[in-house]
């Protein structure tokens, strides 16, 4: 189902998945922070970390192809900005370092997001004392992302079945109008949800 594209592999029961969320987050953050802070003089660092992450991938039984595809999805953007770094003294070295660092960090976060369910992530945020309002907003946001995507798709399909001219200008106007309607619907849905919350004691 379409809606799996986020959580597809976060529900496997491997030994990595079963680790406590705090540990998973902490290790991911450590890897990222160390990589970012790393001055980059010792080139043993990168192969070591990458091998470590690859080992984690294998233990977690997440398909390697999936991880590689997620990685490749992000690379164009990385390269796009990284190119700017070439135009300075020692630019190529900077470029290489950036590419290595960003790839390592990307790997780490892709592994994290595919070994941690969203609910565990929310629980983690609460445990770490993130402000309640923010966590609740995130939880609600996540719940309704799929609902809104479905709604947007339905509106797009309805529009497409009545649009016969292929004009970019028209498309922009219709797309913008769709988003506007999406907001109105989201607002009204918010009101209905509030009602449902009150019906079960929320005040």
- Among positions 16-55, residues that touch another protein (CB under 8 A) are 28-29, 32-33, 35-37
65 sits near another protein (criterion: CB under 8 A): no
Residue 61 or 70: the one with the smaller Cβ distance to another protein is 70
99 sits near another protein (criterion: CB under 8 A): yes
Shortest Cβ 135–another protein spacing (Å)? 9
Residue 55 or 198: the one with the smaller Cβ distance to another protein is 198
Shortest Cβ 12–another protein spacing (Å)? 14
Contacts of 162 (CB under 8 A, 6+ apart): none
Cα–Cα distance measured from residue 168 to residue 172, given in angstroms and rounded to the nearest whole number: 6
62 sits near another protein (criterion: CB under 8 A): no
Shortest Cβ 44–another protein spacing (Å)? 18
- One DSSP character per residue, 62-107 reads --HHHHHHHHHHHHHHHHHHHGGGGSSTTHHHHHHHHHHHHHHHHH
Cα–Cα distance measured from residue 188 to residue 123, given in angstroms and rounded to the nearest whole number: 28
152 sits near another protein (criterion: CB under 8 A): yes
Shortest Cβ 80–another protein spacing (Å)? 10
Cα–Cα distance measured from residue 84 to residue 79, given in angstroms and rounded to the nearest whole number: 9
């Amino acid at each position: 189902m379409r809606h799996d594209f986020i959580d597809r592999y976060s529900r496997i029961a491997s030994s990595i998945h079963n680790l406590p969320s705090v540990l998973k987050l902490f290790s991911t953050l450590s890897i990222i922070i160390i990589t970012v802070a790393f001055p980059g003089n010792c080139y043993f660092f990168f192969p070591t970390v990458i091998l470590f992450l690859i080992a984690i991938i294998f233990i977690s039984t997440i398909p390697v192809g999936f991880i590689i595809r997620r990685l490749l999805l992000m690379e164009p953007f990385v390269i796009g900005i990284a190119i700017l770094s070439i135009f300075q003294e020692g630019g190529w070295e900077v470029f290489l370092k950036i590419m290595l660092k960003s790839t390592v960090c990307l790997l780490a976060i892709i592994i994290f997001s595919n070994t941690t369910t969203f609910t565990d992530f929310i629980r983690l945020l609460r445990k770490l004392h993130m402000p309640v309002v923010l966590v609740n907003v995130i939880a609600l946001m996540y719940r309704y992302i799929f609902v809104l995507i479905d709604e947007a798709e339905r509106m797009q399909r309805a529009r497409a079945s009545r649009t016969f001219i292929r004009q970019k200008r028209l498309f922009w106007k219709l797309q913008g109008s769709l988003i506007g309607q999406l907001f109105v619907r989201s607002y009204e849905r918010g009101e209905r949800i509030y009602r449902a919350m009150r019906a079960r004691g929320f005040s």
